[in-house]
With several copies, the nearest count.
Chain A
Amino acid sequence: MLAKIHITLKKDVLDPQGSVIANSLKSLGFDNVNDVRQGKFIELEINSNNKEEAEKQCNDMCEKLLANLVIEDYSVEIEN
C-alpha cells in the first residue's frame, strides 16, 4: 500500500522558510498571497494487507522518527 504522510509545523511555531517564500512570491508580483507554510510530504510503500494496521504503523513511524512533536504535526493517509 502507498502511505502519504504530511508533516507540518504547529500553528504557534514560526516558519522562517514560509515567510521568505511569501516575500519572494510577493516580489514576483503575487501580491494576493498570505500565510505561506512549508512542510514535508513523505510517500512510502508499506507491505501490508490491512489498511488500519498500515495506518497504525505509519503513525508510529511519525511519532518515533518522521515528525518532531515539539514543533510538528502529522497526518497519514493510506491508499491501496
Chain B
Amino acid sequence: MTSSNWHFDTEKSLVESHGLKLDEFEKIVEGLGREPNLTELGIFSAMWNEHCSYKSSKYWLKKLPTSGERVIQGPGENAGVIDIDDGDVAVFKMESHNHPSFLEPYQGAATGVGGILRDVFTMGARPVANMNALRFGDPNHPKTKHLVSGVVGGIGGYGNCIGIPTVGGEVNFHPSYNGNILVNAMTVGIAKKDKIFYSAAAGIGNPVVYVGSKTGRDGIHGATMASAEFDDDSEEKKPTVQVGDPFTEKLLLEACLELMKEDAIIAIQDMGAAGLTSSSIEMASKGNVGIDINLSKVPMRAANMTAYELMLSESQERMLMVIQPKKEELARSIFKKWDLEFEVIGEVTDTKKLILHMNGEEQASIPINILVEDAPEYQRDYIVNDPSPLISFESKDFEDKDILNDLLKMISHPNLCSRKWIWEQYDHMVMADTVVRPGSDAAVVRVHGTNKGIAISTDCSPTYCRHNSYEGGKHAVVETWRNIVASGAEPIAITDCMNFGNPEKPEIMGQFVECIRGMGDACSKLNYPVISGNVSLYNETNGEGIYPTPVIGGVGLIRDLSNTMTIDLKNEGNVLYLIGESNNHLGNSHYLSIIQSREDGGTPSINLDDELKNGKFILDCISKKLLKSVHDVGEGGVLVAIAEMCISGKQGIKIDITKDFLHGFFFGEDQARYLVEVSQNKLEQLEVDASKSAVKIERIGEIGGTSISINSIGEVELSSLIDHHTKWFNEF
C-alpha cells in the first residue's frame, strides 16, 4: 500500500511535526497495511527518532569491540556489566541530557542524573558512584554562567538528595558549545553476579506492572526534541522539560532493590526517553512476545489524559516490570511500604503485538517487529576531512624566561583551573566508601564491605577530535585508561557518549566514523571493550555543529586498596620522575590556545604500543610499592601536571633539568606519559626496572620547599600557585 489514500497536506505536516520523513511514514503504512492513528503515529515517531533507534549510528557502533573475559553484559541492555571477582559485578553506563539542559539547566541536568541512575538500578545494582562530563560555551558568553550554575546545581541537587556520591567528571569551555551545551552523566553500580536483572518479558499471561510516580503531561515529545536541531525558536519548546523528583527516585531505588531480593521479577525496564512506549516495546521485543496494556489503569497525575499523552509522557521516576503472578501481593506490599504507585496495567501475550486499550476501546495495535526490526537504519554519506597538519615548533619561537608566568596563566584558565567549586557542591562522600575524592586522576570507591575498589574516569578532548578525529577517538579512550592506571587500578571496560552534530552532513558523519575507528583501535589494543553507551546527534544551533565529542567513561578494578595511588606529592626528599617519551608536541595544546590564542598544529598521535608498555610498567611499580604518588601527563603538559601534584600535596619541588627547548618540554602534550614520586631508597630499583622494560625515564627534581623552582629560570611560591588555581571559579 502507498500513501495515496491519505490527505497529503494535513497529514504531511502531522508527519513532519512528529519528526518522521515521508518515506518513513510510507514504511509505517506499508508495515501496518493501513494508516496509523494518531496514537500509533506518536509511538512510531518516538521509536524511530534518532535517540531511540540509533538509525544513523547503529551500523558504525557494531564495529566497536564489546567482549572480553570480564564482560558479562555488553551493549544492548539498560547498562553493561563486568565481572569484578568474588561473585561481584560492576554495572555502568553513560547518558546525555544535552538539549533539556540547555533549555532548563537545573532540571535538565537533574533529570539526566535520575535517568542514568534508573538504567543502573534496573539491572539489580545499587548505584555507588556518579560522574559527569560537561561542555559549556565561551565563559564570556552571556548564557554560560547561568548554564554552569544551573547544571552543577541540578546534578548536585539530584545526586545529593538520593544519596549517591558524585565522585568526579570533567568540565571544559569552548565556543563551539555556545548554543548547545553537553551534559553527560554516568553511573556505576555494584551487584551480585547471580542477581542481575534483564528486560526481556516472558511468560504468557504474566502481569505487566507499573511502579513509581504518576504519569503527567511532562516531556511529551522529549525524545523527538533530543533528535532535532536547535534554532532560535527552540526556547519556545519549553514545556517539554521535566522536573525531577529525587526523593521519589530514592524510594523507587530502595523498593526495587528490596523486591529484587525476592524471586518475583521476570523482567524490568525503566521508563526513560519515550516512557511507556519504549519500555513496553523493548520488553516485548527482547522477549519475542506481545504486550497488552489497559491505559485506563495507568496512574495519572492530570485529568483527562489521552492514550497519546500517556504513551509519550516522559514523567520521571517510573518503571515497568513483568512479575511472577504469585508474587503480586508481596510486590504490591513493598511498593506500598515505600509510598509508591503499584498498578497491574497489562499482561504478556503471544500476539507479538503491542495492543493498547483505554475506556474499553482499542487505541493501538502494532506488530512489535515493525517497530523494532523494521526501524529505519541509515548508512549516511560521509566525508573524512584530512587531519589538520602537524606543526613542528622550535625553541627560537619562545622566550624561556616566561615559563613560570605562563604556568600561572595556564593554571588559572577556566579549562585548567581547579574544579573544586563544582565538586564541593556535590556530596562526594555519602555511602562512606569514597577512597579517592575528586581532584586526583580517577576517582576510587570501595566495593562496600570489601578491600577492593572501583576506579572511574571520564574524558574527551574535542579539540583533538576536531583536528584529527581518528587520533582524537583514540585519545579519549587512552586518556581514561591512563587515569585509571595512575590510580593503581587495572582498566577493564568503558562506556561512551557520542555527542556530535547533524549526521545528515557528510563531514559530521565523517567525524563520527573516524572517532569510532580510533576508539575501536584503542579498545582492541588495550583490551578495554565498550560495554554500554549512548549517542546524541543533532547537537547544532543555527547550523553550527559542536566539536565532535565522544566522551568516554572508563572503569577499572583495584584488587587491594592499599595499592591506591593519588596525585598529591607526599614527602620532602622524594624524587619526581617522568615516564615516557617527550617530543615537544605543542600542536593544539593548552599552551597554544591559552597563551597564544591559537588552535592549530595538529593532534598528537598516540602510539598504542607505548601506552600499553608504559601503563603496564606503572601498574607493576605500584604493585611492588615503588611509588608514592602518580599522575598522568595530560592537558597542559608536564609542568601543569607537576603544579597539580604540588598544589594537592602542598609540597614544593626543585626542578633540575636542562633542555634545548624548555617550552616544548614543559608544555608539550605528548602521550603515554606519567609523573611518579619515588622515595630515595627505591630510586635504583625504579631505574633498573625501567631499563629492563625499555621504558623511558627522566629525573625531574627533588620534592621539598614551598615553591616550584626551576634551575636557571626562577621560582614561584606554592601560595601563589594555589591562588591562581582556585580563583577563577570562585570569581565566576
Chains A and B touch each other in the complex, with CB atoms below 8 Å apart: yes
Contact, CB under 8 Å: A20 / B247: yes
15 pairs of residues in contact across A and B, judged by CB atoms under 8 Å: A9-B243, A12-B216, A12-B218, A12-B239, A13-B218, A14-B216, A14-B242, A14-B243, A14-B315, A15-B243, A16-B245, A16-B247, A70-B103, A70-B104, A71-B107
Q: Which of B31-60 contact A (CB under 8 A)?
A: none
Inter-subunit contact A70/B241 (CB<8 Å): yes
Interfacial residues of chain A within 6-22, with CB under 8 A of chain B in the complex = 9-10, 12-16, 20
Contact-residue bracket for chain B: 20 to 34
Partner of B239, one of A10, A16, A20: A10
In chain B, positions 281-336 with a C-beta closer than 8 Å to chain A are 301-302, 315-316
Instruction: Determine the chain A residues whose CB is within 8 A of the CB of B217 once the complex forms.
Output: 12
Interface assignment of B560: CB less than 8 Å from any CB of chain A: no
Binding site for B on A (CB under 8 A): 9-10, 12-16, 20, 23, 68-71
Q: Is the CB of B243 within 8 A of A71?
A: yes
Which residues of B362-390 are within 8 A (CB) of A? none
Return A4 CB to nearest CB of chain B, in Å: 22
Main secondary structure of the interface of B (DSSP, over half): loop
Which residues of A sit under 8 angstroms from B682, Cβ to Cβ?
Answer: none
Given contact pairs A14-B316, A16-B244, a sample of 8 additional A-B residue pairs in the complex whose CB atoms are under 8 Å apart = A12-B218, A14-B245, A14-B315, A16-B243, A16-B248, A70-B104, A71-B107, A71-B241
Question: What is the chain A residue whose CB lies nearest that of B104?
Answer: A70
B656 CB–A CB distance under 8 Å: no
Q: List the B side residues contacting A20 at CB < 8 Å.
A: 247
* Inter-chain contacts of B244 with A (CB < 8 A): 16
Answer whether residue B339 sits at the interface, using C-beta atoms and an 8 A cutoff.
yes
Q: Please give the distance in Å from B309's CB to the nearest CB on chain A.
A: 10
10 closest cross-chain pairs (CB), A and B: A16-B245, A70-B104, A70-B238, A12-B217, A14-B243, A70-B241, A13-B243, A14-B216, A14-B218, A70-B103
CB proximity of B336 to chain A, nearest CB, Å: 13
Measured in the bound complex, the distance between the Cα atoms of B238 and A10 in whole Å is 11
**Known pairs A20-B247, A69-B238; A12 contacts B107 (CB<8 A):** no
> How many Å lie between the Cα of A68 and that of B247 in the bound state?
22
The answer to whether B302 and A12 have CB atoms under 8 Å apart is yes
CB neighbours of B103 from chain A (8 A): 70
Q: Which chain B residues border A23 with CB–CB below 8 Å? A: 339
User: B216: which A residues are within 8 A, CB to CB?
Assistant: 12, 14
Interface positions, chain B 145-195, Cβ under 8 Å from A, are none
Whole-angstrom CA separation of A59 from B35 in the bound complex? 48
Q: How far is the CA of A68 from the CA of B241 in the complex (A)?
A: 12
